[in-house]
Structure formats: structure tokens, C-alpha cells
Structure 1
Amino acid sequence: MKLMAPGTELDGFRIGKCLHAGGMAHVYEVSYADARPSPFPMVMKVPRMTAGDGAENIVSFEVELQMLQVLQGAYVPRLVASGDLLHLPYLVMEHIPGQSLQQWLDVQQAERTPVRVEELIRIGVATAKALQSLHAQNVCHLDLKPANLLLCPDGRVVLLDFGLSCHAHYPDLLAEELRKAVGSPTWMAPEQVVGVRGDPRSDIFALGVILYELATGELPFGDPQTQGGLRQRLWMKPAPPQQHRTDLPDWLQEVILRCLQAQAQDRYPSAAHLAFDLRHPAHVKVRGLAEQGGGWWAQLRRWLWAAGQHYQPSALPAQQQIREEPNRQGVRR
């Protein structure tokens, strides 16, 4: 797909400069062709689709359009217009200033600067708040990673790229069309590997991977390139973060490892609970997750359980039960 030249007019929009030309999409600045003012800056996202592409790109475009049409709030960009699949598919949406968490991380790693605990907490809380808003609208992101988190000057984290998302009340187009796990392997939750979609705690696992990398500069399960490598997270426990960074507080290690539990029911029940613990370290009970289940017998049992798990797309998710944030005594409001 060729880049569109600045000044090109398309469906009432004038194309500006190209902001991003990636493997999945091109992103352009746009304005109204008739020069009328817009209430906010706009961008046009044009997915890369060629004759050789599989169904995933087409379905992902339809899914993202479906999600942006219903999502509201300060943690997602506002949708303006969309193009026709038969002509040229595109999404025109709000252009929110900021930089991706991946861009921010790249600078930190290039400078070999450890992320301060206070900064990690700030990013973690802001991301958890964005996730809680998303989950309250019955949507799971399912592709949470640093490249899809926008750090805004006002402290917000805005969620981007909903092409792999799932809505509790809509048919799951990706599960229907693609008989395989979809997502970014580094951040994919164990249940996603075996076809379970629509569980908000999958996003909490992905946020745990992000927090682990922020804390240590390492990835808890590496960057798997094979199905076998991806399945290791079903039974293998990550190295405790303090093995990579000895000055990390015990309570923060506990929070990160709870997010990374293989069984969804062992993670935080909601993003609000995670945000609460990040803001209130004294509330966190250090249960020694770093030491639990590390013996060979426990590891063998997890491996045997994982060996019996096969990919099976889940049915349409039931309406998510969103728990409210606990107060300091642990009582739900």
C-alpha cells in the first residue's frame, strides 16, 4: 500500500503528513477538506491490506471500528469517521498528544537509567485506571503492551489499538474467523494461549508484564517465537523481580507477581484493586509469592496441567462482573 501524498482529499478529509508508517497501518494527520474547524486534532489510521493478507487484518479493522463506536471516556480516542472496506478502510479519530510507553522505555533503556519506583507506580496506577474504565464498558483490550499505551502530558494513560479486543455483548469476530490464539506473545495471558477471550484479568496479566519490565528491564517470559515457548507461561513461574533488582520493595514484587499468576482467579479481581494496592503499599500483604510453588514437584504438577490444555475458542463471554475499588479496610464500596 502506497503512502498518500500530503494534500490528497478523501471523503471530505485532507491528508497531512504521515506520522507513522508501520507494518500494520499508516497514520496521517488530517483536517476537514472544506477548512472548517475541528474540535480537536485528528488523525487517519489506514490499515495495511493487500491481496496476500489473511483475514486477521480485515477482521481486526472491523473489531477496532466496532469498539471505538461504543467506547467513551478520557482513556480512549474519540472516533470521527470510518471508511468502507470495499473502497478504502480507514479510521479518523482524535489525535491525543503524548508519547507511547514504548518510546519512553526506549529512552530509559538507551540511557541505562533504572525506572524510579515512584514513576513505575504512577504509570501503573494510570494504566490500571484506564483499564478499569474499559472493563466497566464490557470491553477487554487483549493486546496491552507499551506500544499501545499513550503517556499524556496531563498524567493520563490512553489506550490505543483495539483490533484484538473483545466486547462481552458482541460476537467475537476474531474467535469466529481465526482458529488460533491472537495477540502479542510477550504480553499474552496464559488463558489467551488456549483460546479464552473476554476475561478482564487477561489485561491485568499483560499489565503485570509491563510492570515487570519497568521494574527490572527484563521480560518475565522472554520474547517467545514458537508455540512451545509461548505455552511455557502456562506452567513456568517468572524469576522474582528482586533477582534482577535488589532494591525493589517487597510489596511491589508481591503486586507484580500477583498480576502474573498463571491462573486468572489468582490475579487481582479487577484493575481497580490493582490500582488501590499500588497507591497504598501498607495495604499489601506480602504472602511470599516469590517463594511459593518453586519446588520440582509443584513445577511438575503445573507442567502436567498445562500439557492437558489445548486451544479451544471460548464461547461469547458473559457480562463481566466489575468489582469496585476496595477502601483501606478492604471493604468494597
Structure 2
Amino acid sequence: MSDGTTAEGHSLGNGRYVLQRLLGQGGMASVHLAYDSVLDRQVAVKTLHTELGREASFKERFRREAQAVARLQHTNIVSVFDSGEDVAADGATTPYIVMEYVEGQSLKDVLDDAIARYGAMPTEQALKITAAVLSALEASHDQGLVHRDIKPGNVMVSSKGTVKVMDFGIARALQSGVTSMTQTGMVVGTPQYLSPEQALGKSVDARSDLYSVGCMLFELLSGQLPFDGDSAFSIAYKHVQEEPSAPSALNRAVTPAVDALVARALRKDPAHRFPTAAAMREEVERVSSGEQAATPLQASTPLVISEGPRSVHAAPSLTNFPQVNADLRTPAPQVQQPYQPAPGPHTPPPYAQTPQPFPQAAQTPQPFPQAAQTPPPFGQPVFPQPYSTPQPFPQQQMNTPRPMPAPQFAPNPAANNNSGCSTALIVVGVIVGVIVLAVVIVMIAATANSNNDTYGAPRTATVLDLGGTSAADGRI
């Protein structure tokens, strides 16, 4: 049991879980199909390697994290039923967890089958699986749990097509920082899907899981990993320093929108990635809807250009990987994001624009109040004017203000034939006005003379020149 494996027929949990067959084995644990004799159901039991169970701090942390994961009730998360530890005859302790058994394949096996048939996974299928993984991460991130080891080997696809993410508790416990395995300078995870901040030994958050999802999506679309190398150190260095190629460079069926989606998820700086799993899931679904509307040949059939080397999923873990002495490099975005909403069609102006018949000059205030409009010349009919246009010259120049406005007679449109009578009436009116004006002047002068007599002033004779030639004739 030193390697974390158990023989068939061995039981755990005081005989409750009977191991039946080995389902898979990784660098940290082995998964067995087991029978729960208490609840009469099939379960999956993961036994951790013995060296992980030698530290009491790790066992306590793992127990608490298993309880936290057990509270995650989500369609796309493998449920955790129980956890404990098995003590061998030689005193070796093997921690184990009991999980939901999913009948199906791991995403690694599904991808291998797609690569054998097409060279890569169809775009619609890859985006659908990625959206389900992001939905599971959205639920775990809401509970404060960061997975830290997203990869195809930790994703299951049931026989009904349901996607299940597993191993939340293991990754969380290994990164808790309470064991000698996670001291300063130590990182845990799979090198091919490691975020740059994980490679540098810095603190991680939900955006680190989104980087791993971007690496997984790149592999599903192209059949190759974004970064690979001969050692864990070289792979981690590439995650920190090098830029990945676009998936369309390996699979011409990948559209620019999908390229931009992957490019944003694989940004070195976490601030330039998607802020949350929910935001990335919404963008994946939006791009996926555009892919489904495309031509089936272009959208579903991978056109793999070249088949490069593919790393084995069971790569050595970065359990004892030293810290990389480097800083995160934030390159300038080089990929235009075509998946952003395109600008809508040009909106016409709210009012129809018609050419002006004449250039309109700037309107300036009139220096004097405009006089009332005068009637048209005599003998001409009056017609309504549809448009009021400025006159080139003022219609009436006002030299001196009139002491009394002369009465105006508006012509009657119905009496156009009596133009002679109208003219005579106007002339008579003018004469009467002059006479009235003269009488007013005489009255003003007489009033002024009477005022002088009242205050005892010498009275002067009033002379009215009526045009006589003799001085005696004109004096009163």
C-alpha cells in the first residue's frame, strides 16, 4: 500500500467500502470502483499516497476540505460522500475519500478518441464541455474553493454526456500551506496546465483556474498543449515567459472568435483575463451560439494542419518543483477580440436632411423695433407669402420719431376696384392730420403764454405771421 494502491477485495472504512477494480491511477492517488455495503450502491474511492498521510496537519486540512467540497451540490461537480484514513498492518496510514461514481469516460479518454478520429475535438463539443467546467468552477468559487488542478484527467463525461469536475478537495488541501510539501518555493499541480502565478509560487485565486481552463480548451481544439517541454521546469518557464500560438494555427476550422477567447484566458497577467468563471462561461456560450449558426463543415470538422508531439497526461507533478525567479510579464494584447459585440448598423438622423435653397446667414438682432408691415402698393392684390425671407434693405428708415402716429387705413381686399376712392380718403386723412397738428402747436403756445401772466411776468405780444408784408398788418 506504499504506492497508494490496494488489492481487489480490500475494504476500507471498517469494511463498509469494498474495492472491486482499479479505475485509474495518477501521481497523487489511485481511484477504485467500490461497493458501499451500507447504502447498497456503487461509489468511487480515491486512496492517496502514503507519504501524504504521514503528516497530521495535512490529514486535518484534507478532512476539512472534504467536508467543504461535500457541501457543493452542483450538476457538474462530482459529489463527495465520505472521507477517512486506512491504517495498514505495518502502521502506514492511507487517507481516502469516497465520491460519486460516474459511469462514463474521463475527458482525457474522450479527447484521445477525438484525436484518433479527427485530429482534434470538434469546436462545438469543446466549447460545450468548457462551458460545463466553468459552471462547476462558478459554484466552487462562490464557496471560496479554488481547484488549482483543472485538466482533462480531472473531468469526467458520463454516458449521458454530463460533464463532472472532480478532485476539488485534493488540490485545495495540497495548496493549503500547512505541510512541508507546500513550503515557500514549492508548488503543486500539473505543469502543462499551470498558471504563471502558480509557477512563480505566488498566491492564486479564481483567475488561476481560468488560465488552466484556457490551456485545456487549447488542447481540445488543437489536439496539442499550448506549452510543453522535456521537464517540468522548462514547461513552467514557458508559461511565464512565452506567448502561446493561436489554436487556428494548428486547426484551421477554429474561428477568430474562438482564437480571441483562448488568447484572453491565457493572458500572463491575471488582471487581463476574465474576471470570473461566470463571465468566461457567458462568453463561451455566446461564441458557441455563433459556431452553431455557421456551416456544419466549418464548425464541426477539425482541419488539423500538423500533428505535433503531445504530452502524456500523467506528467510528473510539480509537488517538489522549485520556484522560478522571474516576474510576470504582461504583454500588450496582440489579438483583436472579434467576439466583442460589433457596432450596429448606421442609424439615420432623426430628421430628413434636405438641401437648403439659399445659404442662411446668421441671425442678428434688429437695431430698432420693426415697424408694422405696410400694405402692398395700391392696386395690387394681397397674397399670403409661404416663406418669410429677410429683405436686402430695411423697408422703412426711421429718421425722427413721430409725435403722433398717423391713422392707417388697411385696404379691403374685396374693394380692389375702388382704388380711386381709397386714394382720395388717404389724401383727406393726411390734410386733416396736418390741420390737427397745427392746432395742437397753437394750443401749446397759448398755454405757455397764460402761465407767464400768472406769475406776473411781463406779457409779450404774440405774433402770428400770416404772410403780410407790413409790420402793422401782422401785429395784434
Q: Distance in 2 between matches of 1:230 and 1:237?
A: 12
Q: Which residue of 2 aligns with 1:120?
A: 126
Q: Distance in 2 between matches of 1:223 and 1:60?
A: 31
Deviation at 1:30, TM superposition (A): 2.6
- The C-alpha deviation readout for 1:273-301, integer Å capped at 9, x for no partner, is 111111113999xxxxxxxxxxxxxxxxx
The SS at the match of 2:131 is: helix
- The C-alpha deviation readout for 1:236-277, integer Å capped at 9, x for no partner, is 111122211222111110000100000001000011111111
Does structure 2 conserve the Cα–Cα contact (< 8 Å) formed by 1:127 and 1:157?
Answer: yes
Q: Alpha carbons of 1:189 and 1:203: their partners in 2 closer, same or farther (altered >3 Å)?
A: same
Q: Alpha carbons of 1:146 and 1:63: their partners in 2 closer, same or farther (altered >3 Å)?
A: farther
- The C-alpha deviation readout for 1:74-114, integer Å capped at 9, x for no partner, is 23333333223665422222212221110111111223443
Matches within 5 A, 1:44-55: 44-49=45-50, 53=51
Does structure 2 conserve the Cα–Cα contact (< 8 Å) formed by 1:142 and 1:164?
Answer: yes
Q: Alpha carbons of 1:174 and 1:201: their partners in 2 closer, same or farther (altered >3 Å)?
A: farther
Which of 26, 34, 40 aligns to 1:30? It is: 34
Which of 84, 95, 106 aligns to 2:101? It is: 95
Matches within 5 A, 1:307-326: 308-309=326-327
Does structure 2 conserve the Cα–Cα contact (< 8 Å) formed by 1:101 and 1:146?
Answer: yes
Deviation at 1:176, TM superposition (A): 7.7
Deviation at 1:178, TM superposition (A): 3.1
Deviation at 1:128, TM superposition (A): 0.9
Does structure 2 conserve the Cα–Cα contact (< 8 Å) formed by 1:64 and 1:164?
Answer: no
- The C-alpha deviation readout for 1:102-155, integer Å capped at 9, x for no partner, is 011111122344321111111111111111111111011001100001113444
Q: Alpha carbons of 1:244 and 1:177: their partners in 2 closer, same or farther (altered >3 Å)?
A: closer
Q: CA RMSD in A?
A: 3.2
Instruction: Give, as a single letter, the amino acid of the residue that structure 1 aligns with 2:16.
Output: F
Q: Which residue of 2 aligns with 1:289?
A: none
Q: Which residue of 2 aligns with 1:17?
A: 20
Does structure 2 conserve the Cα–Cα contact (< 8 Å) formed by 1:42 and 1:95?
Answer: yes
User: Aligned pairs, how many?
Assistant: 283
Deviation at 1:48, TM superposition (A): 2.4
- The C-alpha deviation readout for 1:205-237, integer Å capped at 9, x for no partner, is 000001111111121112451424412222211
The SS at the match of 1:234 is: helix
The SS at the match of 1:89 is: strand
Give structure 1 stretches of 5+ with no counterpart. Answer: 285-305, 311-327
- The C-alpha deviation readout for 1:161-208, integer Å capped at 9, x for no partner, is 2322269xx954358843312110000000001112331011000000
Instruction: Give, as a single letter, the amino acid of the residue that structure 1 aligns with 2:68.
Output: V
Matches within 5 A, 1:150-189: 150-162=156-168, 163-165=170-172, 172-173=177-178, 177-179=182-184, 180-189=186-195
Q: Which residue of 2 aligns with 1:245?
A: 251
Q: Distance in 1 between matches of 2:199 and 2:42?
A: 38
Does structure 1 conserve the Cα–Cα contact (< 8 Å) formed by 2:82 and 2:98?
Answer: yes
Q: Distance in 2 between matches of 1:55 and 1:227?
A: 27
Instruction: Give, as a single letter, the amino acid of the residue that structure 2 aligns with 1:46.
Output: T
After TM superposition, the structure 1 stretch with the greater mean CA deviation from structure 2, 130-139 or 24-33, is 24-33
Seq. identity, %: 24
Instruction: Give, as a single letter, the amino acid of the residue that structure 2 aligns with 1:13.
Output: R
Which of 215, 219, 222 aligns to 1:213? It is: 219
Q: Distance in 1 between matches of 2:154 and 2:271?
A: 25
Q: Alpha carbons of 1:9 and 1:254: their partners in 2 closer, same or farther (altered >3 Å)?
A: closer
The SS at the match of 2:6 is: coil
1:69 counterpart = 2:67: yes
1:108 counterpart = 2:108: no
Does structure 2 conserve the Cα–Cα contact (< 8 Å) formed by 1:13 and 1:30?
Answer: no
Which of 141, 144, 147 aligns to 1:135? It is: 141
Q: Distance in 2 between matches of 1:231 and 1:56?
A: 32
Does structure 2 conserve the Cα–Cα contact (< 8 Å) formed by 1:130 and 1:157?
Answer: no
1:4 counterpart = 2:7: yes
Q: Alpha carbons of 1:236 and 1:84: their partners in 2 closer, same or farther (altered >3 Å)?
A: same
After TM superposition, the structure 1 stretch with the greater mean CA deviation from structure 2, 18-27 or 59-68, is 59-68
Does structure 2 conserve the Cα–Cα contact (< 8 Å) formed by 1:63 and 1:164?
Answer: no
Instruction: Give, as a single letter, the amino acid of the residue that structure 2 aligns with 1:276.
Output: E
1:257 counterpart = 2:275: no
Q: Alpha carbons of 1:73 and 1:26: their partners in 2 closer, same or farther (altered >3 Å)?
A: same
Q: Which residue of 2 aligns with 1:288?
A: none
- The C-alpha deviation readout for 1:21-70, integer Å capped at 9, x for no partner, is 5243332333344xx434x5312222221xxx478998776555432311
Q: Distance in 2 between matches of 1:56 and 1:267?
A: 38
Does structure 1 conserve the Cα–Cα contact (< 8 Å) formed by 2:13 and 2:85?
Answer: no
The SS at the match of 2:244 is: coil
Larger RCO, structure (CA 8 Å, separation 6 or more): 1
The SS at the match of 2:253 is: coil
Q: Which residue of 2 aligns with 1:41?
A: 42
Q: Alpha carbons of 1:59 and 1:229: their partners in 2 closer, same or farther (altered >3 Å)?
A: farther
Give structure 2 stretches of 5+ with no counterpart. Answer: 88-92, 291-323, 329-340, 343-476
